[in-house]
Amino acid sequence: MDSIHHWAEFMMARKLVYYVAVSLDGYIAAPNGDPSGFPIEGDHMEVVLREYGDAVPSHVQKALGLTAPRTKFDSVIMGWNTYNPESNGGLDSPYAHLHQIVASKNSRSVPDNVELTHDPLAKIRELKHETGLDIYLCGGGELAGELLPEIDQLVLKRNPLVFGSGIPLFGSLRYQPVEFIHVRTRTFDSGVSITEYDCAH
């Protein structure tokens, strides 16, 4: 009975999910952090909006007349360069429908509905001990590299583009192989594929 109880707890464990668009050569944004090089139209978007609607920014949901399903994520963590309102059209609450956490080594001014953390690893470990839906790791690459020990699932939207340079998927991560297990890959006429991996740990 104890083993069944522990298995049930494991199955309900909250996951950190790195869900991100990536180029064929492993970049998640242009060198200046701009992710707009990725296509936002195509037959893959039906899956994106249906299964990962919680990860769509609030202002985009509003423009599309959508409501976040709140079935996948209830929290989001992002690095300062990803969040920075000065480089994101003045948006200081991009995921207002989620618990927003911004990681920065420096003191920053953020609105009341955004939590600032200087220790993202500790914050993620704290969140994993709380009840809730999964946690969306929005980016950027440096934060993903720092949080790699806690990433439970990768969902890569691989686009048929070569950037040549830009922000790498895991930033300037030092050589440290971490095994992930392929779960499934879905391909679309748009040329985009969505591949899911679970961490082997």
CATH of the domain at 124: 3.40.430.10
Read off the pLDDT band of 5 (50, 70, 90).
Answer: very low
Domain count of the chain? Answer: 1
Q: What is the pLDDT of residues 37-77, one digit of tens each?
A: 998 899 999 999 999 999 999 999 998 888 877 889 999 99
Closest CA to 17 of 103, 137, 99: 137
Residue 9 lies in a domain: no
Q: What is the pLDDT of residues 146-185, one digit of tens each?
A: 999 999 999 999 999 999 999 999 998 888 899 999 999 9
What ranges in the chain are assigned the alpha helix state H?
2-11, 45-51, 58-64, 80-83, 120-128, 141-147
191: left (phi over 0), alpha (psi -120 to 50) or beta: left
Residue 65 lies in a domain: yes
Residue 3 lies in a domain: no
**How far is it between the farthest Cα atoms of the chain?**
54
For the cut 60, the answer to whether the pLDDT of residue 7 exceeds it is no
- Full residue range of the structural domain in which residue 104 is found: 14-199
* Residues 84-90, mean pLDDT to the nearest whole number: 85
Residue 2 lies in a domain: no
Residue 4 lies in a domain: no
What does the alpha-carbon distance between residue 182 and residue 197 come to, in Å, rounded to a whole number?
Answer: 5
Token couple for 167: 């922000």
